[in-house]
Every structure is written in structure tokens, then in C-alpha cells.
Chain A
Amino acid sequence: MPVYEQGYEAYTGERKPLGRRWIPLFRDELLPYFKKRRFVFLLMLALLPWVYGIALTFLHTQLGDAQWAKELVGQLPKVDEALVAKLMANGFDLFLLLVVCIWVGSGLVARDRRDRTLEVFLGRGLGAGQYLWAKGAALGLFLLLFSLLPTLVLVVFQVGLTGDAGWIFVHSRVLWGSLLYTVVGLGSLTVFVLALSSLGRSPRAVGLVLVGIVFFGDVACGILYGITRNPAIWFFSVAKELEVLACRCLGAPPPHFISLPLWLSVLFFAGLAALSVVVLFLRFARRGVLQ
């Protein structure tokens, strides 16, 4: 008796166009994280400052004119570019952002290399470009939860509660500044993590390297700054660069000890992205990533 009882049947149904092949891989990369309770808890934790921002919006718009609350509400920070910069680039959120970046990013390509599923994926009708796009989009989406998405929610609340869209025009920098920070800062970070992940075969090893670069790099910069008192030292700290970029993009003053100019931060992230793109190109175009 053969192992198969049902004979082979040909597939005669439709096939999707080549350009949309990345979507299943993106979904496959994204969804398992939402089943991990610790990860979801981390995301919720990261959204806490934004809950504070929404609460401020509510208090200013709903109780700002109430006689009994006027004095109290007046002492609270206003919802503007400076507040959004603080919500986006406070030490707590930046720490969680980098933790998520390492958690999700370290295995993006390295896991497929370890399990030898990369050659299975690339052996299908999925080009290297679509593969990288799917992986990058998954990490990028998580990073959006720390920047553009909660900003948009905040804006929607502000406009919804006041019933006046004029706030958007007065504070337009909240939107384009967040967008710039997301594209330049978090986009570069995504490509960098993707490139680093393509260099290793072990997600754990890639994660450790990332921890070294991000956290120990920051500590090393702090020690050097303590010795030299030179703010230029922070140029090499990813966390501080993100903080400066967010503040500069939103027109808020960065902490005095890391007052790097905007162009320097943009240069840092542009250099990081360019280097990462070159690494990815060499790894994938020459198929070295499959060795």
C-alpha cells in the first residue's frame, strides 16, 4: 500500500502577481510577536507616555476652561512640539525602542540563515528585494509604534476633542517633524539592524553585537564625556543621536550636554543607512548571505 492514498493533483487556480509576494513573509514575521505576552507587555509599556500625552490633551481641551480646574490645568505642559519630542525621545521610550529593535531585528535574516530557510525563500518567486522589504517592514512597523503612530493618535484626539482642525496648522511641525524623525532615524536604524542580521547565522550573536553597539556604546560615550566634557563624543551614541534628531526635527531644544547640530545627526543616520545598504547589496547580490 503506497504512503499516499490520494493521488497528486495539479493546481489550476490563480496566482498573485510577483510584486505582492512579500506580504505573506511580512505577516509571518509580524504575527508571532503578538502571541508573546512579554513582547506585548513591552509595547504597552512603551505606550504609557503617550497615554499621559492623551490625558494632557483631554485635560486641556475639556477642563481648561472650568473655573475649578483652570489653575491646575494651566500648570500642566501644553500639547505641542516640545511635548511630542519628549514623548518620542524620552530615555524610557528610547530604551524600550532599542530593546524591541534588538529583539525583533537580531533574528530577521540570521534566523533564516541558521534554519537554511533563506535559500528556500529565495528559491521561490520572491526576489531578494522583496525578501528584505518584508523583513524591514516588519521591524519598521514595530518602530512606528514608538513614533509616528502614537503621534497621529495624539493629533486625532486633539482635533477630535476640540473639534477644531486649526491646531494641525498651528502645530504642523508635530506631523512633519515626526515623519522626518521616523524616516531618517528609525528608517536608518531598521536598515542597519537588517544589515547586521544578514552578517550572522545566530540571532543570539547578532543580538549581543547589537546590545554592544547600542547600550555599551552609549555607556562608553558617557564615560568619555565624563572625562573630556566634549559633546561631540555623543556623535557615536545611537540612543543620543535619536534623542537629538527627535528634538531637532520637532524644534525642541535637546539636553544641553548633547547639543549636536541637526546636520550632524542627519549625517550620522545617512552614513549608517548608506553603509547598511552597501552591506546588504554585497551580501545579497553576490549571494554571500547564502554561504
Chain B
Amino acid sequence: MSVVLSVRDIRVSYGPTQALRGVTFEVPGGAVGLLGPNGAGKSTLIKAILNLVPLSGGRITLMGQDSGALGPALRDRVGYVPEREGLRPGMSGVGWVALLGELSGLPRRSAVERAHEVLQYVGLEESRYRNVETFSTGMRQRLKLAASLVHDPVLVLLDEPTSGMDPVGREEMLELCRDLVKQGKTLLLSTHILKDVEALCSQVVILHEGQVLAGVTVEDWTRSEAQHFLVQWEGQGQAFEEACRGRGWTVEPRRDGLIKLVLPVGEGPRAVFQAAREAGGGLNRFVREETSLEELFLSALNRNGANHAGL
């Protein structure tokens, strides 16, 4: 698969503060989540891709073309959904989207037609003639998505698109994003809502203090991390728990008689059954607990805090 976006060793400084310190990753296509705590550099990275902040070093290429060299021409192929505001009070929804379409090179008539199309697509056809300041938070986010799609970009950069939205609006927004991925669009989703990434993205890039902590597919990441199991031992006494502890696993007995086991990377169900056999019994119940992205994210951050070797 050809790479849509390639970011190579980019550095951005605000005065003495280094906001991005040698960030490198590639976006092959689909939806990619950009995760990180507040101040990690997510918004700065998006602005760097859009050439809205000057780079101190590094290179960004979009579909193989250098973004710095092509400048505005290349930005015609990128859509941007800013986190805050980004709308002109006093303008109608359709007027705003059409204006941005024109700024991306669409002739006036086509821009207006296209604005109606994308507003219908995001579900704002009923409100398109209302002034943008009368829109609710969810409607504003959808309007910004429509504005980012009006010129039919290849890559859409979404900065906290579900921020401040109610659960229904959030789900609708994610559904739109999923549909866009199906249509062949590439999305780079910056968020701190891990469930959004879990629901939408096939790949994640974790930023922390301006550096990439991890850049992997969600599947690989889940596989590479510690595994959690819930088991019920058929035998009596502490023999099984001691056997597990002896292997260096984390053991958490629960009130309902189940035992939670946390196994390090590389060990799997076979080892659990072997431990039970060694303890002189079998297992009545064995359930693999799904590790949430949140747990993985926190574990990655904690590990980075303990030693800066990264993932």
C-alpha cells in the first residue's frame, strides 16, 4: 500500500520550548489515531502537516510530494477539522462551507452545489441556512467536517472531532468517519478519547512530550502487551496461586472465586494450563479479558515515565 502521509524527524519549537522533537511516522491509509495527553504535541503536529507552524527540521511528504515545496497546492488535498471555533459568526452553514470550497479552488456554482451535498451527507440539510453561531456543539463539529470535505481531500486531519459532544452525536460523528474510511479517505484523528480511536482506527501513534512513544497497529499493540485472564481453579488451597506467582505473574483473587491473572508479553493460555497442572488440578473456567486501549495507553505512558526507552 502506498504511503499517504510520511512524517520524518520533524521538529517544531516555540521559542525555547520544543513542541515536537524528531517525530517520525507513516500513514499508509485508513484511519490513524493520534493519541497523547494534553500538551503532547498533537495539535502542533497537525498544524505542522498543514504548514501552519514553521519546522525547525525534518520533512513531511503527502503522497510522495514534499509539503513544504508545494505549499498551497498540496493543501488542496488535505481537509482540516480544527478543535476549537473555526467558524465565521454571521454566516449561514451553507455560505461558510461554500466559501471554503471556493478557497480550495472550486468555481462558485460548484462550491455552492458541493456545499449542499456535503451538508446533506453530514446530516445538516435542515439547518444549512441557519447562522453558524446558532448551531449546537455537535452541529458545529459536523459543519466543520462538512467544510473539510467540500473540496474532496485525500487526507482529513481531525483535531478532537468529538470533543464536547453528547454520546449520540459522538457515535454519529464516528459513523461518518467510518464511512469516509470506507470511501477511501485517509483520516488522522487526534484525540484523547481512547474509545474513539478504538472504534475507528486501525493504527495508533502515541505522542508524549513531543516524541513518538509508539506507532503501531492497534492489533499488534494489543498482542504485544500483557494479557489478562480470569480463571477458576478446580482444586483447593493456594497451590495454583503460588505456582502462578512463582512464574512472576500478577495474581488477583476475587470474591466470586475467580482469579485474575496478568501475564507478561510472550506468555499465553498454554502456560496457564501448565501452571494448573503443576499445582495438581485443572481449570473449571478460563476467560481471556479484553485489554482496553486505555489500559494499553496508560501502561505505555507509565513505562515511558519509568524509563525513556520507549516501546
- Residues on A close to B: CB < 8 A? 2-11, 13-18, 21, 23-25, 28, 32, 115-117, 119-127, 286-287, 290-291
Contacts and interface: CB of A to CB of B under 8 A. Distances in A.
B151 A11 contact: yes
Contacts of B120: 4-6
A8 B149 contact: yes
A28 B99 CA distance: 8
A5 B172 CA distance: 12
B73 A18 contact: yes
B8 interface: no
Indicate the member of A13, A25, A121, A125 with the most B CB atoms within 10 Å. Answer: A125
A18 B70 CA distance: 11
Contact of B80 (A5, A13, A17, A120): A120
Given A7-B179, A14-B110, A24 B121 contact: no
Nearest to B182: A8
A13 B107 contact: yes
B110 A126 contact: no
Nearest to A8: B183
A39 to B, nearest CB: 14
B84 interface: yes
B176 interface: yes
A119 B148 CA distance: 13
A116 B106 contact: no
A123 B179 contact: no
Contacts of B151: 11, 124
B102 A123 contact: no
A172 B264 CA distance: 90
A287 B180 contact: no
25 contacts: A2-B172, A3-B175, A3-B176, A6-B121, A7-B121, A7-B179, A8-B180, A9-B117, A13-B110, A15-B104, A21-B103, A24-B102, A24-B103, A115-B86, A116-B84, A116-B86, A119-B47, A119-B52, A120-B82, A123-B50, A124-B151, A125-B105, A126-B72, A127-B71, A290-B52
Contacts of A125: 72-73, 75-76, 103-105
A36 B241 CA distance: 79
Contacts of B85: 115-117
Given A13-B106, A115-B87, A125-B72, A286 B121 contact: no
B212 interface: no
Nearest to A4: B121
Contacts of B103: 21, 24-25, 121, 124-126
Of B50, B104, B172, which is in contact with the most chain A CB atoms at under 10 Å from its CB? B104
Interface residues of B, number: 49
B88 interface: yes
Given A4-B179, A6-B120, A123-B50, A117 B76 contact: no
B134 to A, nearest CB: 15
B78 interface: yes
Given A28-B99, A116-B84, A119-B86, A124 B104 contact: yes
B114 interface: yes
Interface in B122-162: 122-123, 142, 147, 149-152
A183 B265 CA distance: 72
Given A28-B99, A127-B72, A11 B114 contact: yes
B54 A119 contact: no
B72 A18 contact: yes
B54 A14 contact: no
Given A11-B106, A15-B76, A115-B87, A120 B100 contact: yes
B105 A119 contact: no
B152 A124 contact: no
A117 B87 contact: yes
A110 to B, nearest CB: 13
A16 B175 contact: no
B90 interface: yes
A50 B223 CA distance: 80
B152 A10 contact: yes
A16 B106 CA distance: 6
Interface in B1-39: 14
A11 B153 CA distance: 9
Contacts of A24: 99, 102-103, 108
Contacts of B105: 15-18, 21, 125
A46 B122 CA distance: 46
A290 B76 contact: no
User: What 8 pairs across the A-B complex have the smallest Cβ distances?
Assistant: A15-B105, A3-B123, A11-B152, A24-B102, A116-B85, A125-B76, A125-B72, A3-B172
Given A120-B80, A124-B100, A32 B75 contact: no
B89 interface: yes
A10 B86 CA distance: 24
Contacts of A7: 121, 179, 183
A3 B127 CA distance: 14
Contacts of B76: 15, 124-125
A4 B175 CA distance: 9
B106 A123 contact: no
Contacts of A9: 117, 121
B53 interface: yes
Nearest to B172: A3
A28 B100 CA distance: 11
Nearest to B109: A13
Contacts of A116: 82, 84-86
A116 B83 CA distance: 10
B131 to A, nearest CB: 12
